Amino acid sequence: MPAPRNRPAAVLVLAAALAATGLGPAATPAAAATIPVGAGSYSDTRPAGTVGPTTNTGTPVTPKVTSTAQGKPVPTNDWWSSLAFQRYGDNPHSTPMYGHPLTYQAVSGGLQIGYPTTPTIVGEGRQYEYAHKADLTLGLTGLNSPDTKADAWSDWTVTPYWSDGTRTLRTTIGHGMPFVYAKGSGGNAQITTASAPTVFADQGNVLGITVAGHHYALFAPTGSDWNVSGSAVTAGLGGKDYFSVAVLPSTDALATFRKYAFSFVTGSKVDWNYSGGTVRATYTLTTEAKEGTERGTLQALYRHQWLNTTDALTPYTYVSPRGTMKVRESASFTTSQKASPVLPGLPKTSGVDATRLRGYLNDVANASDPFSGAVDTYWTGKALGKLAQLVPLADQIGETAIRDKLLGLIKGRMQAWFTAGGANEFSYDQAWKTLTGYPASYGSDSELNDHHFHYSYYVYAAAIVAQYDPAWAAESAWGGMVKTLIRDTANPSRTDSAYPFLRGFDVYAGHSWASGHQGFAAGNNQESSSESINLSAALVLWGSATGDPALRDLGSYLLTTEAEAIAQYWFDADEQVFPSSFGHDTAGMVWGSGAAYATWWTANPEEIHGINVLPVTGGSLHLGGEKAAIRRNLAEMERENGGPAVEWRDILWEFQSFADPAAAKSKWDAGHASYTPEEGESKAHTYHWIQTLHTLGAPDPTVTGDLPSSAVFANGTNRTYVAHNYGSTARTVTFSDGKTLSVPARSTASGTGTGGDPDPDPDPPTGNTFQLRSGGTLTTATGGTAGSDTIASAGGTNRDGTPYQPLVYEARGVNGTLTAGASTAFRFQVDAGTTVGLGQQVRISYDLTGNGSFDRTETYNYFATDPVAGWEQYAQTRGLKSATGSLGNLANGTVRLEVWSAIGNGTSKLQTGTENSVLVIPFS
């Protein structure tokens, strides 16, 4: 959320806004019906003088939906929300919607369709856009609808609806869908192209055309025929009501796409599961066959998805603002990721001086106004979050009086908000099926913006209270209101008639959207991805503390998914998403059309780099997974800033601690006496955070525990295992390297762990494990001598996907039975030394019969090494880039491993002779 840097100015601006709406000190809220929820309540009408959803001119609006959808909870804050939320009164259709690979805009004559493939740089080089530009408009002859409405929706698809009294048109569009499916009546199918098309295939009811350099296929019912006249392409429907359009990755893909032209998508659904430290999600499209019996389809996967699936992908790809999209020929696919860690607070260590921490804690607890004048939902939330993070720290050093004082402050302020009729309250809007806190801010009322940002702090603070006072968090007490905020922002139910499913979180895009109405030419947007993460982490903690594993696991799914999206789309961790012409290493904001090096309120580099870090909590540990990106990020901040941070020093020091704890401590030591904390931070928390990570080391994402509230840290070769047990009995947490940690009931424990293999990631699935030996051998023997081989330079040329002077390792005469459901796995230790910009790549090939012909070849995405001396781990979790052929049983077969430099201009090292560098084949 935009967070003004100067508190007095922020208070003045907010006070002026309140006075303008009649909510100044003299205002008296009008009486409203009260809806009791446990010990709390909310109102069913807004306080006097306040507003709900409006147009930009202040006119109240209701959802723009068909009679079929009337009364259903509308998922605001989505990629298509302008269909239902008419923010701009002169546009009754929609603003551009970015489904990827296609873009869309509803107009009176139907649906504009585009496929932007060339980025433009705008805003003095601070933003890149793949802006919507219509290649064609899908409609019906004569269609001239006065508006466009949302008729139906599912997890990532939507059906816009047009009617002019004579003709009706429905289309189904969605993320990752290369097809647009249309049903129309009252006219012939009509495709109006931006310029006269070039026809590359004419098969009667199937027409291949090229417009603006992009290839499309048009499909009418069997027996129909497309007619091209200038820019108008029409076909009679022969008494049928369906036709479809697809964007093709190439003209030779027409036959494949024709197969699925009449397998119409009718819905989309994600199912998630957390188990033993792993989050799995399956994304499924439902279809119906308009002709024939084909029920399959094609889906284009975003980078954050194909990096984390082992499902087979076709060679087809698309361009998108999120990097390359890869096509799967199936109605479903599954991703699997190590769960992102969450802790209620960092553990106690010897690095923190209790006396010094006590002093910092007292500074906050005894402040004249611990809430710094906050009156609206956002700034109150920030203050609640700041206090909540200090509770576990006070408890660690035995300061129960400070702990309980902080808890009292938190509970008192939340109870005031959770009780209708006072100066602060939550109000339910029946038309929009949403709960809005008043006083509101940043359009959380008029535009339904940012509910997930604001309420994340309340849920997080409530989770900390629940840890120490379970009775307060009971549903019959104040927990009912906490769960009502969760229903508004992250409702896991698709059948709840009061709130939409996952209001802000876009399950296919992998992250949340902040704008409630999506009424921008660039689509929807999200600035502070970290405040979205704050809600997901809060769900993990709240679900754990209140004994609600379903909410806990939802939080883990949301957190783990968005963490990968943030790494790729905000921080460009693999340097494969941002166009080279963009020239930045981070984005302050992600838009449907691209991303911007900007915030909503300032161009100051410190805020641009810090807004996707704050608040730093035990839910921020996922940031430690991309240490090279953090170093690039902070180096750019200092270049743009003309030196080290001045204003948001604490946030950026904490950010640096995820990659370089010693450097962060050095900056704290030099600057702690002379800075003012960011308004959601405190010196107590920053001191504890930096000192603790300096002792433990940075987060180690390669090892996970079988409990969501667990984490691992590495200082050199020494790992520390941490877990919080919310249960009433002691339990043993097992980590993916085999280490275990005994954790007492309702406590945090940390230690070096017992048992296990010190470097096992990834966990080998069923199959045979081969170590590498210098000289080119793969062997199942153990007890080798540690060594290394040199990987040749890529010579400054991009070798992605094509072996170049590779290291080759082979095992011959291999026999084995293919294990059902298993896949290739590996962990290789690589080191680029201090050389910048290197990336290593792996190809694994199987000759099943030893006849010299490889039956299956798997090429994995390359691993971008950091320029810091020391081994890094490259695993199959980087994702499968491509695969050919199929696996079968091995009979005197050959297994070959090739390792080469995909990018860069320097050599690197591959570790050999140890159990830390192994290939695991899916055979028994």
Rounded Cα–Cα distance for residues 803 and 896 (Å): 13
Residue 882: strand pairing partners: 859
Which amino acid, residue 358?
R
Rounded Cα–Cα distance for residues 433 and 424 (Å): 20
Rounded Cα–Cα distance for residues 493 and 794 (Å): 50
Q: How confident is the model at residue 459 (pLDDT cuts 50, 70, 90)?
A: very high
Torsion angle, alpha carbons of 79, 80, 86, 91, to 10? 110
- For the chain, give the longest Cα–Cα distance: 89
3-class DSSP state for residue 902?
A: strand
Q: Give the active site residue among 164, 450, 488, 574.
A: 450
Q: How confident is the model at residue 30 (pLDDT cuts 50, 70, 90)?
A: very low
Mean pLDDT, to the nearest integer, of 269-277?
A: 97
3-class DSSP state for residue 436?
A: strand
User: Is 763 marked active-site?
Assistant: no
Q: Give me the residue label for tokens 């308009």.
A: 290
SS (H, E, C) 7-47: HHHHHHHHHHHHHHCCCCCCCCCCCCCEEEECCEEEECCCC
Residue 657 has pLDDT above 60, yes or no: yes
Residue 7 has pLDDT above 50, yes or no: no
For residue 18, the model assigns a pLDDT of 27
Lowest mean pLDDT: which of 365-369, 469-473, 756-760?
Answer: 756-760
Is 859:846 a contact under the CB 8 Å cutoff? no
Lowest mean pLDDT: which of 2-16, 320-334, 601-615?
Answer: 2-16
Cα dihedral 559, 563, 564, 565 sign = positive
Rounded Cα–Cα distance for residues 374 and 417 (Å): 12
Which amino acid, residue 691?
Q
Residue 760 has pLDDT above 70, yes or no: no
Q: Give me the residue label for tokens 């010299």.
A: 852
Q: Give the active site residue among 395, 399, 447, 531.
A: 531
- pTM of this structure: 0.83
Mean pLDDT, to the nearest integer, of 181-201?
A: 98
User: Is 831 marked active-site?
Assistant: no
Task: List, in order, residues 6 or more apart from 603 with CB less than 8 Å away.
Answer: 126
Q: Give the active site residue among 151, 399, 447, 527.
A: 527
Task: List, in order, residues 6 or more apart from 737 with CB less than 8 Å away.
Answer: 703, 719, 756, 757, 758, 759, 760, 761
3-class DSSP state for residue 349?
A: coil
DSSP structure class, residue 739: -
Rounded Cα–Cα distance for residues 35 and 19 (Å): 27
Lowest mean pLDDT: which of 24-38, 114-128, 551-565?
Answer: 24-38
**Residue of 881, 728, 869 whose CA lies nearest to 802:** 881
Q: How confident is the model at residue 767 (pLDDT cuts 50, 70, 90)?
A: low
Torsion angle, alpha carbons of 720, 726, 728, 731, to 10? -30
Is 608:599 a contact under the CB 8 Å cutoff? yes
**Residue of 519, 544, 354, 578 whose CA lies nearest to 466:** 544
Lowest mean pLDDT: which of 269-273, 473-477, 493-497, 869-873?
Answer: 869-873
Mean pLDDT, to the nearest integer, of 240-252?
A: 98
For residue 470, the model assigns a pLDDT of 97
Predicted confidence (pLDDT) per residue in 95-119, tens digit: 999 999 999 999 999 999 999 999 9
Q: How confident is the model at residue 15 (pLDDT cuts 50, 70, 90)?
A: very low
Task: List, in order, residues 6 or more apart from 859 with CB less than 8 Å away.
Answer: 801, 841, 842, 843, 880, 881, 882, 883
Written as six digits, the tokens of 297 are: 């389809």
Share of the chain above pLDDT 70, in %: 95
Task: List, in order, residues 6 or more apart from 47 with CB less than 8 Å away.
Answer: 23, 29, 30, 32, 425, 427, 438
Mean pLDDT, to the nearest integer, of 53-60?
A: 96
Rounded Cα–Cα distance for residues 551 and 538 (Å): 10
Mean pLDDT, to the nearest integer, of 496-512?
A: 98
Written as six digits, the tokens of 488 are: 């508004």
Is 516:447 a contact under the CB 8 Å cutoff? yes
Written as six digits, the tokens of 430 are: 């029946």
Q: Distances in Å between the alpha carbon of 665 and those of 571, 660, 662, 670, 693? A: 23, 9, 5, 8, 9
Order of strands, sheet of 263-275, starting from the edge strand that comes earlier in the sequence = 263-275, 278-289, 332-338
Angle between helices 451-468 and 377-396 (to 10 degrees): 30
Rounded Cα–Cα distance for residues 536 and 559 (Å): 5
H or E element at residue 872: strand 872-875
User: Is 575 marked active-site?
Assistant: no
Alpha helices in 397-450 (DSSP H): 400-417
- Average pLDDT of the chain, as a whole number: 93
Written as six digits, the tokens of 614 are: 């704050």
Torsion angle, alpha carbons of 61, 66, 72, 75, to 10? -60
Q: How far apart are the first and last CA of the chain?
A: 52
For residue 447, the model assigns a pLDDT of 98
- The alpha carbon of 206 is separated from its chain's Cα centroid by a whole number of angstroms, namely 38
3-class DSSP state for residue 451?
A: helix
Q: Distances in Å between the alpha carbon of 591 and those of 45, 91, 509, 512, 514? A: 33, 20, 11, 11, 10
Rounded Cα–Cα distance for residues 765 and 824 (Å): 8
Q: How confident is the model at residue 877 (pLDDT cuts 50, 70, 90)?
A: confident
Task: List, in order, residues 6 or more apart from 770 with CB less than 8 Å away.
Answer: 778, 779, 780, 811, 895, 918, 919, 920, 921
DSSP structure class, residue 818: B
DSSP structure class, residue 219: E
H or E element at residue 106: strand 103-107
DSSP structure class, residue 754: B
Written as six digits, the tokens of 104 are: 């869309």
Task: List, in order, residues 6 or more apart from 666 with CB less than 8 Å away.
Answer: none
Residue 272: strand pairing partners: 281
Mean pLDDT, to the nearest integer, of 192-201?
A: 98
Burial code (b: 16+ CB inside 10 Å, e: under 16) for 863-894 equals: bbbbeeeebbbbbbbbbbbbbeeebeebeebb
Written as six digits, the tokens of 883 are: 């695969």
For residue 149, the model assigns a pLDDT of 98
Order of strands, sheet of 317-318, starting from the edge strand that comes earlier in the sequence = 298-301, 325-329, 317-318
For residue 32, the model assigns a pLDDT of 57
Which amino acid, residue 206?
V
Predicted confidence (pLDDT) per residue in 278-291, tens digit: 999 999 999 999 99
Number of alpha helices (DSSP H) and beta strands (DSSP E) in the chain:
15, 51
Cis peptide before 762 (omega within 30 of 0): yes
Question: CA angle, 547 as apex, 541 and 550 as ends, to 5°?
Answer: 75
Q: How confident is the model at residue 799 (pLDDT cuts 50, 70, 90)?
A: very high
Written as six digits, the tokens of 706 are: 């079988």
